[in-house]
């Protein structure tokens, strides 16, 4: 037991990354907030916290798919804004909800094709995609507003059997993500592809018969679809389309993934680590709000945390 | 496809950076659609606007050639703009501001270089995080409101002309020429090429890989400081929003100019024309009445197209 714990904290459980550290941070923040403010441990605040953390958890899970294969998706923020803008166009939910997923999958497909087939660096491909998607979003909806389908609003605000719906969102997303990442051959292949890239033998997985290009492409499609899911959740919460709602989401998602022990060079990570990472981010935001810290300072603190976390991740390769 | 990509003429053409084609294409488009725009005074004004971008590109092309990237420019820009316009150092001389700005750029560049070169942090994440920290600090200091005015000396320098050419444009051209000489005549330039081509081989050949990366980032930081000074002089007021997309545009212009991540190759003048292409693009889009969202889409499409052009070329040369 004791050796297992030490091994976990030292990150010797190599494929899962150092998630225990993040877990301890989360625990420490919970204890600190619980002791220092009376409001924190109320049911209302905790529920609020779940609803606040949910879009980031969903986006971070998607981001993790591409980070596992040594990539990065800087377009998820734009995809989130885009999703809310499309939903707010006023089309009935039965059309617009499948519609946003198809559009998000297409965005992911273009990212994936650019990266795997056309040899474009993931950062450049997804960055230019974020420009294109943001531009289209601002054409569709220059300022926030519009009519979000009632079904989307009900799916976020209501409750079922006395349990608020965001909790169900969380459980279902996590089950789906667990199936993809830890319960399928596709997930295993992502680890294999990324592990090869991180160790400098980029064709290692391919030599064992893994369709590395197809799986990498699917990781980008998955990432966009998860971002779109987060967008649907956000649209339900803010009850409108907003071209700026996804701003800087990609950075929060990357930070969450990195805090959760996923190596940004690929091949190492875990779903629970990513979820814990996103929860740490949400707890920090919640705590800083309760402590009345200015939103600008909060931004700076988030940046410093990102810097610290990735600064602790030593890599073999220098560069991007 | 393979027949086409292996043809000597295709190979010759594919070596020319896309920036030149785009520049000529936009020039022809303007000449056909709006010939009256093509006069020295109007063009001078438009080109003067992209000088900060052009100077930023000089640093960006260095770090991109050593397989890194610098996305912290916006934060440095804001910070320097804040120094000058907030009245924090009221009555200070021009040389003081220049020294302070250069020191800031140097510090941030060194920090980036240390993180990327020594600590081996992912360059995108590290420089983005530095950027977020700097932006957060400036916004906190300014409490979200734009600070005051910039001393008039800055604007006076910005508005002077050398013969017909605006002073900032002359400054940019001189700086580009200096960088070109620095890279082609000095050992550092050779180091950049070898680190970019293959860092492992470079280390075994005795090239100081870490030092080259750190120095590249430091020079990029200094260039950002110079770009911030020109940018501040051009807008003449304090702002907490200025130049947030300049670093990304700088990456785009660098790639248009034929400098590719970690390949060591590419010159200084390709990216120079990359920046000029952006200047022309803004002219074209303004004259055709294309709004901000349309510009975003166009930028994205151009960056992606240029990157695909290079990606396909690299794939072709490998097989």
The H or E element that residue A90 is part of is: none
Q: What is the DSSP letter of B118?
A: I
The predicted model gives B224-247 an average pLDDT of 80
d(CA B36, CA B193): 43
Please tell me the predicted confidence (pLDDT) of residue A137.
95
Q: Which residue of A has its CA nearest to B217?
A: A319
Helix (H, G, I), strand (E, B) or coil at A241: strand
Task: Tell me what pLDDT residue A6 has.
Answer: 62
Are B136 and A299 inside 8 Å of each other by CB? Answer: yes
**Rounded mean pLDDT, B104-124:** 91
Q: What is the mean pLDDT of residues B178-199?
A: 89
Taking the Cβ of residue B64 and every Cβ of chain A, the question of whether any pair is shorter than 8 Å is answered with no
- Whole-angstrom Cα distance, residue A30 to residue A27? 5
Q: Is B267 left (phi over 0), alpha (psi -120 to 50) or beta?
A: beta
pLDDT at B35: 83
Among residues of chain A, what percentage have pLDDT more than 90? 41
Contact A122, A178 (CB under 8 A): no
The stretch A173-200 carries a mean pLDDT of 91
Cα A308 to chain center, whole Å?
Answer: 19
Q: How confident is the model at residue B109 (pLDDT cuts 50, 70, 90)?
A: very high
Q: Is A89 helix (H, G, I), strand (E, B) or coil?
A: strand
Closest residue, chain A, to B120 (C-alpha): A318
pLDDT recorded at residue A189: 93
Q: In this predicted structure, what is the pLDDT of residue B5? A: 66
Selecting from A72, A315, A318 the residue whose C-beta is nearest the C-beta of B124 gives A72
Per-residue pLDDT, B241: 63
Q: Which of residues 241-300 of B touch A (CB under 8 A)?
A: 248, 251-252, 255, 261-262, 292-300
Residue A1 pLDDT > 60: no
Element of type H or E holding A197:
helix A185-198
A-to-B residue pairs, Cβ atoms closer than 8 angstroms? 168
Nearest to A119 among B136, B299, B314 (CB): B314
pLDDT digits (tens, 9 = 90+) for A281-298: 888 888 888 788 888 888
How large is the ipTM? 0.82
Q: Do B297 and A136 touch (CB under 8 A)?
A: yes
**3-class SS of residue B297:** helix
Tens of pLDDT, residues B72-83:
998 999 899 888
A25 contacts: CB under 8 Å, gap ≥ 6: A259, A280
Q: Are B303 and A131 in contact (CB under 8 A)?
A: yes
Q: What is the mean pLDDT of chain A?
A: 87
What pLDDT, in 10s, does the model give residues A223-277?
A: 999 999 999 999 999 999 999 898 888 888 988 998 888 888 888 889 999 999 9
User: Chain B: nearest CA to A153, how far in angstroms?
Assistant: 28
Contacts (Cβ under 8 Å, ≥6 apart) of A299: B132, B135, B136, B139
Q: How many Cβ atoms are within 10 Å of A95's Cβ, its own excluded?
A: 11
A306·B129 Cβ contact <8 A: yes
DSSP secondary-structure letter at A16? G
Q: Which residues pair with B149 in a beta bridge?
A: B237
CA distances from A98 to A52, A89, A91 (A): 24, 14, 11
CA distance B175 to chain A (A): 26
Choice between B213 and B289, residue whose per-residue pLDDT is larger? B213
Between residues B180 and B289, the one the model is more confident about: B180
Q: Where are the beta strands (DSSP E) in chain A?
A: 159-160, 163-164
Task: Answer yes or no: do B68 and A136 touch at CB < 8 A.
Answer: no
| Mean pLDDT of all residues in B122-128 | 85
What contacts A187, CB < 8 A, 6 or more positions away?
A: A180, A181
Q: Tokens representing B92?
A: 């200070």
pLDDT given for residue A202 in this prediction: 78
With a cut of 70, say whether residue B7 has pLDDT above it: yes
Q: What is the pLDDT of residues A268-280, one digit of tens each?
A: 889 999 999 999 8
The band of B108, judged by pLDDT with boundaries at 50, 70 and 90, is very high
Give the mean pLDDT of B211-219. Answer: 95
pTM score: 0.86
A320 vs B contacts (CB less than 8 Å): 67-69, 122-124, 261-262
Q: What Å distances lie between residue B124 and A289, A316, B317, CA to CA? A: 28, 16, 27
| Mean pLDDT (whole number) for B192-208 | 87
Nearest chain A residue (CA) to B318: A119
Q: Give the residue-averaged pLDDT of B210-236.
A: 91
> What is the average per-residue pLDDT within B203-216?
91
Contacts of A264 in chain B (CB under 8 A): 122, 125
Q: Yes or no: say if B19 and B277 are a contact pair by the CB < 8 Å rule.
A: yes
Is the model's pLDDT at A312 over the cut of 70?
A: yes
From the candidates B129, B246, B292, which should be mutated to test the interface with A, based on the most A CB atoms within 10 A?
B129
Least confident of A165-179, A192-206, B219-233: A192-206
Residue B18 forms contact with A (CB below 8 Å): no
pLDDT at B191 over 70: yes
pLDDT on residue B319: 39
pLDDT at B21 over 60: yes
With bands split at pLDDT 50, 70 and 90, how would you rate the model's confidence at B124?
A: confident
Q: A121 and B307: CB-CB below 8 Å? A: yes
* pLDDT value of residue B102: 95
Contacts for A313 with CB less than 8 Å, ≥ 6 apart: A258, A263, A264, A265, B121, B122
Residue A95 is inside which H or E element, if any?
helix A93-116
Average pLDDT over residues B17-39: 86
Nearest chain B residue to A310 by CA distance is B121
Among the partner-chain residues A130, A136, A300, the one whose CB lies closest to the CB of B136 is A300
Cα angle value A198/A199/A203 (rounded, 5°): 90
Q: What local confidence, expressed as pLDDT, does residue A233 receive?
A: 94
Instruction: Looking at the complex, report in whole angstroms how far the Cα of residue A156 sits from the nearest Cα belonging to chain B.
Output: 30
Strand partners, B166: B161
- Output the six-digit token pair for B59: 């640093």
Query: A70, A75, A128, A251: best mutation site toward chain B, by most B Cβ within 10 Å?
Result: A128
Is B217 within 8 Å of B113 (Cβ atoms)?
yes
**DSSP state letter for B114:** I
Picking from B132, B68, B293, the residue whose alpha carbon sits closest to that of residue A250 is B132
* Exposed / middle / buried, residue B165 (Cβ in 10 Å: 0-12, 13-18, 19+): middle
Q: Which residue has the higher pLDDT, A319 or A60?
A: A60
Taking CA atoms, what residue in A is nearest to B254?
A124
The answer to whether B125 contacts A264, with C-beta atoms less than 8 Å apart, is yes
Do A319 and B124 meet the contact criterion of CB atoms below 8 Å apart? no
Distance from CA of B64 to the nearest CA of A (A): 9
Q: What is the pLDDT averaged over residues A3-24?
A: 67
Chain A, nearest residue to B124 by Cα: A320
* Subunit contact A320:B68, Cβ cutoff 8 A: yes
Cβ atoms of A16 and A202 within 8 Å: the answer is no
For residues A158 and B219, the model is more confident at B219
d(CA A289, CA B154): 40
Per residue in A71-128, pLDDT (tens digit) is 999 999 999 999 999 999 988 888 999 999 999 999 999 999 999 999 888 888 998 8
């Amino acid at each position: 037991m004791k050796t297992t714990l030490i091994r976990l904290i030292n990150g010797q459980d190599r494929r899962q990354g150092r998630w225990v550290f993040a877990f301890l941070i989360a625990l420490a923040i919970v204890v600190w907030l619980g002791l220092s403010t009376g409001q924190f441990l109320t049911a209302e605040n905790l529920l609020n916290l779940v609803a606040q953390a949910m879009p980031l958890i969903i986006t971070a899970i998607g981001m993790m798919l591409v980070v596992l294969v040594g990539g990065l998706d800087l377009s998820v923020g734009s995809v989130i804004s885009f999703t809310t803008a499309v939903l707010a166009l006023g089309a009935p939910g039965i059309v617009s909800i499948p519609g946003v997923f198809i559009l998000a999958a297409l965005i992911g497909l273009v990212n994936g094709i650019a990266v795997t087939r056309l040899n474009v660096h993931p950062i450049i491909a997804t960055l230019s995609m974020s420009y294109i998607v943001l531009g289209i979003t601002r054409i569709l909806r220059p300022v926030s507003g519009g009519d979000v389908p009632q079904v989307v609003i009900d799916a976020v605000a209501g409750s079922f059997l006395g349990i608020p719906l965001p909790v169900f969102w969380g459980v279902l997303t996590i089950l789906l993500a667990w199936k993809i990442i830890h319960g399928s051959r596709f997930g295993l292949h992502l680890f294999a592809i990324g592990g090869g890239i991180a160790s400098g033998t980029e064709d290692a997985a391919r030599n064992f018969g893994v369709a590395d290009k197809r799986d990498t492409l699917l990781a980008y499609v998955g990432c966009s679809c998860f971002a779109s899911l987060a967008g649907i959740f956000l649209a339900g919460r803010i009850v409108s389309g907003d071209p700026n709602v996804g701003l800087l989401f990609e950075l929060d998602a990357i930070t969450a993934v990195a805090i959760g022990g996923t190596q940004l060079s690929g091949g190492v990570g875990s779903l629970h680590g990513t979820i814990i990472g996103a929860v740490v981010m949400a707890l920090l935001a919640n705590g800083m709000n309760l402590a009345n810290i200015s939103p600008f300072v909060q931004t700076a603190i988030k940046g410093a945390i990102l810097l610290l976390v990735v600064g602790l991740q030593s890599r073999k390769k220098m560069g991007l | 496809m393979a027949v086409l990509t292996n043809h000597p003429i295709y190979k010759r053409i594919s070596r020319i950076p896309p920036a030149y084609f785009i520049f000529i294409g936009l020039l022809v488009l303007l000449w056909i659609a709006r010939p009256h725009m093509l006069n020295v005074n109007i063009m001078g004004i438009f080109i003067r606007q992209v000088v900060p971008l052009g100077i930023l590109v000089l640093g960006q092309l260095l770090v991109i050639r050593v397989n890194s990237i610098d996305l912290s420019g916006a934060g440095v820009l804001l910070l320097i703009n804040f120094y000058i316009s907030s009245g924090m150092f009221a009555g200070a001389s021009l040389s003081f501001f220049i020294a302070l700005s250069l020191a800031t750029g140097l510090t941030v560049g060194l920090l980036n270089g240390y993180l990327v070169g020594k600590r081996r942090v992912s360059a995108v994440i590290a420089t983005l995080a530095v950027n977020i920290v700097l932006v957060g600090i400036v916004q906190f200091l300014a409490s979200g409101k734009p600070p005051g005015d910039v001393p008039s000396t800055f604007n006076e320098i910005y508005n002077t002309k050398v013969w017909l050419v605006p002073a900032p444009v002359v400054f940019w051209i001189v700086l580009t020429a200096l960088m070109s000489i620095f890279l082609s005549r000095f050992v550092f330039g050779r180091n950049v090429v070898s680190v970019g081509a293959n860092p492992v081989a470079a280390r075994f050949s005795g090239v100081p890989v870490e030092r080259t990366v750190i120095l590249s980032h430091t020079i990029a930081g200094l260039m950002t400081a110079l770009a911030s000074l020109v940018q501040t002089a051009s807008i003449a007021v304090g702002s907490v929003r200025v130049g947030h997309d300049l670093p990304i545009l700088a990456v785009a212009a660098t790639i248009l100019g034929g400098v590719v991540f970690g390949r060591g190759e590419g010159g200084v003048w390709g990216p120079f024309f990359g920046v000029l292409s952006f200047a022309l693009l803004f002219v074209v889009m303004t004259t055709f009445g294309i709004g901000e969202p349309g510009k975003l889409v166009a930028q994205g499409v151009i960056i992606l197209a240029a990157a695909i052009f290079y990606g396909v070329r690299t794939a072709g040369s490998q097989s």
